[in-house]
Amino acid sequence: MSIKYEPGQSRVYLDHAATTPLRPQVREFLIAALESGELHGNSSGAHSMAKVAKNKLEEAREIWAHHLGCSPYEVVFTSGGTESNNLAIAGTSGARGPNLVCTAAEHHSVLNTCLRLDGALCAVDKFGLADFQDLSNLVNHSTRLVSVILVNNETGAVNKIDQLADLLEGHAPNCLLHTDGVQAVGHLDLASTLRPVDLATFSPHKFGGPQGVGVVMARKKTQLHSIMAGGAQEFELRPGTQNVALISAGALALELVLEDQAREQARLCNVRAHFLDLVSSKIDGVSLNSSPEGVASIVNVTFSGVSNEELLILLDRQGVHVSTGASCASGAVEPSHVLGAMGISQDAAASSVRFSFGWSTKFEEIDLASEALICALDQLRSQAR
Amino acid sequence: MSGGVDSSVAVALLRDAGHQVEGATMKLWGGESDSGCCSISDVEDARRVAAQLGVPHHVFNFTQDFESQVVSHYVSSHRDGLVPNPCIECNRSIKFDVFLDRAIRVGFDAIATGHYAKVEQDGPQFRLRRAHDMTKDQSYVLSVLNQRALSRVLLPLGDLAKTEVREMARSLGLRTSEKPDSQDVCFITSKGGRKEFMEARVQLTKGVLIDAQTRTPIGETDSLELLTVGQRKGISSGVSSVKTPTRRFVTEIDLHNKIATVGSYEDLLTDQVKLGPPTWTGEPIEQGQLVLMQFSAHGLAVPARWIGDHVVLDHEIRKPAPGQTAAIYQDDYVAGSATIIK
């Protein structure tokens, strides 16, 4: 085989939009919490061990509330981003049929929840941003919920939430606004962005926290209801024993990412610029699907005439880990519905790869990734059918 | 790796022979399925076996190629009154074509499958040969391969018996060791069958059933496309109302004139089979040569004389269904294949 994977060669992880490595402080916190057993108690219990856990849980809730600009009673912990999006949408009374609208470029956890409830889909522009004209045609006085992703997970495009909220105020005064903020943490000023938002959802493993925990910000007026039957945990919105260690680790990750946001943003902008520089100067047949105004952490690129499934194999063999956005249940690469909604042809979508950067990304990794890309593309293009 | 026991063991054998092996499972069909090669549990089985054997595993999405090459061919053939073999079509246009291309592009020297057949090198030529275990021989479904494919294909199970393969899988602790063989077309469900599948894609044609001897109408059918030459059961309720002393078979389907001919067993017999243009595994066979013809996956090979656009059989056989593949053998080597026209 021309490109071989050599064990021990350096690994380049450019798939932060899928999940991020745990930040060292978060890992240390989790290990210590598990080893000490300090948070082992069931936070719903009455004894002292339970109260330690309960305190830690509420501390995490306050951290989120502070940074989201809401009350602690408006922060609900779940098992992850997908559950959070399900709860925010399916838990909103009356949000179904034409009274529920989301964009065609949402993450599957929003898109499929809306489709299951027979909701309507709003068109998007060439960057995947909500088409205001189409949205204003779809909403009216009966509209109950509009869900628009804050930062697109496949392209990094940032929807203009404040303008959307203005539009809804005029056209759909009885409507709640939900935004899937899973990819937004660390990239936008959360509290100010979320000011006009009623429901927002987050997932700490996208910014150095652990997998298995999610957050719904649900403002009081949303009168959200639980989508599962069970105990009274999480203000009767999400039954089940909370995983306090993970929830606390998630809150710690939030604090860490926000404390360093400005510097890290500048660094990631340089990382992206360096990557785009190398790719555009050294590789032919490249087109950028991401908006230049999107977040710096996600770059979606089409390499013409090349199958992204094949490119992934050759990059992986060189220790470079990237993704194509979405996989089906079998693990096969599926044509991206987001790129499709943006008007990108199926062929071009099948030649597109998402590179996503994060806290652990180093400049050297970008150099290694671009070298690996050049090798892989040379091999694939020289043998094009 | 289909997720079955044969390809699992094929991987193990190649790995043990010192090859640098990676497993790949093709996702071919995006729709409903109850068996075949693309269900999620089959992919999981393949992935797990690859992990147990310590080889990387990939899933390739070929749903678009499968739809345009195999499924649409299946539908259009049926519309023409033909009964194709989609597994052979998949071998021809997916497994040993686009899949092979991909394998080469990403740097592999060859692909391997768990088929029971052998590829032998004879000078510059690669020859496809029946498996050692004749009860499992699958050379028929590989008869569409050309030299390019044969030069890049390894068939590690060719000398093994199925019982040996299962025993190896058991001793390796593979979860696929007791898995039954897949039998059916992966995109046709047992519940809906061919009828439901075809109805969703084409308007089925009503037709008149004609007696093979008298040429008079004896009944009707709602769906000419679903009849197969040689079929006996469920031709039409119309036939049973006609007094016939013998069993009745479909002997011919004419979609153009919306007619199916129904006759006795004797009407079904033929000693000549008309064929489409052949595909040769190597050198073409010259006209007039003696060959062995096999008309179905597990059918008996019949001695015949190769004429070119048809073969003259040594003795009469039941008419094979038009659209099916005729595999052409010399001894136990596959010379080529052609589609049955009539």
Distance CA A203, CA A185 (A): 9
For residues A278 and A374, give the distance between their C-alpha atoms in angstroms, rounded to a whole number: 10
Residue B193 is predicted with a pLDDT of 84
The yes-or-no verdict on residue A13 having pLDDT over 60 is yes
Q: Summarize the confidence of residues B82-92 as an average pLDDT.
A: 92
Contact B61 A332 (CB under 8 A): yes
Among the listed residues A114, A175, A328, A375, the single catalytic one is: A328
pLDDT, greater one: B152 or A385: B152
**Measured between CB atoms, does B32 come within 8 Å of chain A?**
no
**Structure tokens, A124:** 């998007």
Average pLDDT over residues A121-147: 97
**Per-residue pLDDT, B29:** 84
The per-residue pLDDT for range A330-342, each reduced to its tens digit, is 777 888 999 999 9
pLDDT of residue B266: 87
Nearest to A359 by CA among A251, A257, A213: A257
Indicate whether A272 pLDDT > 80.
Answer: yes
**DSSP letter for each residue of B168-234:** HHHHTT-TTTTPPPP-S-TTS-TTTHHHHHHHTTSPPPPEEEEETTT--EEEEES-GGG--TT--TT
What is each CA distance from B294 to A122, A129, A366, B305, B333, in whole angstroms?
Answer: 57, 59, 58, 13, 12
Which residue of B20, B59, B109 is in closest CB contact with A332? Answer: B59
Q: B106, A333: Cβ pair inside 8 Å?
A: no
Average pLDDT of the residues in B7-34: 90
pLDDT averaged over chain B? Answer: 90
For residue A274, which amino acid is it?
H
CB contact under 8 A, B107 and A1: yes
Delimiting residues of CATH 3.90.1150.10 domain(s) in chain A: 12-17+260-382
CATH fold for domain A12-17+260-382: Aspartate Aminotransferase, domain 1 (3.90.1150)
Return the CATH number of B5-114+156-171, one of 3.40.50.620, 3.30.43.10, 3.40.630.40, 3.30.420.40: 3.40.50.620
| CB–CB contact B105 A310 (8 Å) | yes
pLDDT average, residue stretch A173-182: 97
pLDDT at B244 over 60: no
A55 or B227: which leads in pLDDT: A55
Active-site residue flag, B186: yes
Section B168-184 average pLDDT: 87
Report percent pLDDT > 70 for chain B: 94
Q: Residue A122 catalytic?
A: no
In whole angstroms, give the CA distance from residue A129 to residue A132. 9
- Chain A residue with minimum CA distance to B61: A332
Suggest the residue from A1, A308, A330, A336 to mutate for an interface test with chain B (most B CBs closer than 10 A).
A330
Amino acid at A21: P
pLDDT score recorded for residue B240: 47
B104-118 mean pLDDT? 96
Write the single-letter amino acid at B118: K
- Asked if the C-beta of B59 comes within 8 angstroms of chain A's C-beta atoms, the answer is yes
pLDDT score, position B233: 78
Give how far B99 is from chain A: nearest CA, Å. Answer: 11
- The answer on pLDDT for B242 being more than 60 is no
Query: Across the interface, which of A309, A314, A379 has its CB nearest the CB of B61?
Result: A309
* Stretch(es) of chain B classified as CATH 2.40.30.10: 268-339
Single-letter residue type at A88: A
Please give the ipTM for the structure prediction. Answer: 0.83
CATH of B268-339 among 2.40.30.10, 3.40.50.720, 2.60.120.920, 1.10.287.70: 2.40.30.10
Q: Which residue has the higher pLDDT, B244 or B293?
A: B293
| Rounded CA separation A228/A79 (Å) | 13
Report the 3 state secondary structure along chain A.
Answer: CCCCCCCCCCCEECECCCCCCCCHHHHHHHHHHHHHCCCCCCCCCCCHHHHHHHHHHHHHHHHHHHHHCCCHHHEEEECCHHHHHHHHHHCCCCCCHHHEEEECCCCHHHHHHHHHCCCEEECECCCCCECHHHHHHHCCCCCCEEECCCECCCCCCECCHHHHHHHHHHHCCCCEEEEECCCCCCCCCHHHHCCCCCEEEECHHHCCCCCCCEEEEECHHHCCCCCCCCCCHHHHCCCCCCCHHHHHHHHHHHHHHHHCHHHHHHHHHHHHHHHHHHHHHHCCCEEECCCCCCCCCEEEEEECCCCHHHHHHHHHHCCEECECCCECCCCCECCCHHHHHCCCCHHHHCCEEEEECCCCCCHHHHHHHHHHHHHHHHHHHHCCC
**pLDDT tens, position by position, A55-73:** 999 999 999 999 999 999 9
pLDDT at A385 over 70: no
Q: Which CATH number fits domain A24-259: 3.40.640.10, 3.40.250.10, 3.40.1010.10, 3.30.460.10?
A: 3.40.640.10
Arithmetic mean of pLDDT over chain A? 95
Distance of alpha carbon A79 from alpha carbon A81, whole angstroms: 7
Residue A325 gets the label, from left (phi > 0), alpha (psi -120 to 50) or beta, of left
- Examine the pLDDT at B90 and tell me if it is beyond 70: yes
- CA–CA separation, B239 vs B251, rounded Å? 14
Reported as a pLDDT band with limits 50, 70 and 90, residue A370 is: very high
Residue B256 backbone dihedrals phi, psi, to 5 degrees:
-60, -45
**Residue B25 in this model has a pLDDT that exceeds 70:** yes
Asked if pLDDT for residue B236 goes beyond 70, the answer is no
In chain A, what's the furthest Cα-to-Cα distance? 69
pTM: 0.89
- Residues A341/A128, Cβ–Cβ less than 8 Å: yes
Least confident of A26-40, A42-56, A314-328: A314-328
- DSSP secondary structure code for residue B334 in this structure: E
> Is the per-residue pLDDT at A10 higher than 70?
no
| pLDDT tens by residue, A293-325 | 999 999 999 999 999 999 999 999 999 999 986
Residue B149 has phi, psi (to 5 degrees) of -65, -45
Residues of A with CB under 8 A from a CB of B: 1-3, 307, 309-310, 313-314, 317, 328-334, 346, 379-380, 383-385
Number of A to B CB contacts under 8 A, please give it: 51
Q: Where in chain B is the domain with CATH 3.40.50.620?
A: 5-114+156-171
Secondary structure element (H or E) that encloses residue B303, with its range:
strand B302-306
Find the mean pLDDT for residues A272-277: 97
Task: Give the chain A residue whose CA is nearest to the CA of B100.
Answer: A385
Q: Is the pLDDT confidence value at B241 over 50?
A: no
Query: How many angstroms separate the CA atoms of B310 and B274, rounded?
Result: 4
CA distance A285 to chain B (A): 18
Q: Which of A125, A122, A128 is nearest to A171 (CA)?
A: A122
Q: Classify domain B203-263 by CATH architecture.
A: Roll (2.30)
